Amino acid sequence: MTHELKNIVQAHEAAKKEGIKTVLVTVVALEGSSYRRPGVRMLLLENGKMVGAVSGGCVEKEVLRQAESVFASGIPKVMTYDGRYRLGCEGILYILLEPFSPSTAFLDAFWQTIGSRRPFKIISAFQKQYGERETIGSLFHFDDNAIGVRNNFGKLPEHTEHFEQTMQPCFKMAIIGAEHDAVQLCSYATMMGWEVTVVVDPREEKTISDFPGATEFVQEEGGSLQLNVDHETAIVLMTHSFAKDLQYLMALKDVDPAYFGLLGPASRREKLFDALLERHPDLSEEFLTGIHGPAGLDIGAETPQEIAISVLSEILAVINQKRPIRLKEKEGKIHT
């Protein structure tokens, strides 16, 4: 969800330059089922534009209507949306609407935290009762610094309910390869809100413009590659060259990403592992067993676009610690 919050802050900054007020919308509680869970946010602009969504589309019009009083008075409010009597989800949403007028200190701390890939916490005070209240609202905790989303809100009231959420760094993907399937994987990962780094061999006649959505473009051979990899990073190695894959594997043998995928059949994977072990016999078993090769889920993918969906689906399953099944075969709630 951090990437959605980035979009919200960017949209606010653009609106502020034009003198347009903004309201932050947060789902803070849920009874029953809903399309999205508590913690999802969107931004409303006074001109009627919306950035993001808190549902599949059935709630947003009512949220926009309820926000009129917040724009007018500057006082936060809680609204409820009971989907049991509508055609949408079968749950009751409690939604906090508050003026979004972050200070310069807030914005500086936010972008510094995002850039350094540090987690942060958001705590929202609310009441499960419809109405406006001066005392409700949200605080962002950047390390030990708590800053409200509006200038006159700096302390959470004691006698209210609190919704607390820890935001992890934006998920990052490193795609090593320059062929058409790498372009498609970059495009699809970008649509998911992931920050994408593309790594290509310097001899490839490619630029960042060949990879729409990429945030970083690295031209390095395997022998000199250095990547900043953390537990919110996925790596997919897909150069289509045995020699290049081997060099990049050697460069990455000490990383510990959230996911490491290797394109190509199992027989090619085994040859790569054998060659890697010949050069690094002390290589840890955990590194090799942690590589997902062939990368992706078996969904019958053939085209580059389908292969991208297959790989991204496996990454989601791994980072969410889920065993892929059909949802119709799942017992209980879809979201757990």
pLDDT at 8 over 70: yes
In the chain, CATH 3.40.50.720 covers: 172-319
Query: What is the CATH number assigned to the segment(s) 172-319?
Result: 3.40.50.720
Percent of the chain with pLDDT over 90: 76
**What is the per-residue pLDDT for 250?**
95
pLDDT at 87 over 70: no
The answer to whether 97 touches 67, Cβ cutoff 8 Å, is yes
Q: In the predicted model, what is the mean pLDDT of the chain? A: 91
pLDDT at 335: 59
pLDDT number for residue 90: 61
Question: Across-strand partners of 43?
Answer: 24, 51
For residues 15 and 9, what is the distance between their CA atoms, to the nearest angstrom?
10
* Residue 88 reports pLDDT greater than 70: no
H helices present in the chain, as ranges:
2-17, 60-73, 104-115, 180-191, 242-251, 266-279, 285-289, 304-319
Least confidently predicted of 217-221, 224-228, 274-278? 224-228
Give 47's DSSP letter.
T
**Per-residue pLDDT at 163 exceeds 70:** yes
d(CA 35, CA 55): 5
- The percent of residues above 70 in pLDDT, for the chain, comes to 95
- Could you count the other beta carbons within 10 Å of the beta carbon of residue 336? 7
In contact, 182 and 196? CB cutoff 8 Å: no
Average pLDDT over residues 203-232: 93
Q: What length is written for the chain?
A: 336
Amino acid 154: pLDDT: 83
pLDDT band at 93 (very low <50, low <70, confident <90, very high): confident
User: Is the pLDDT confidence value at 86 over 60?
Assistant: no
Residue 92 above 90 pLDDT?
no
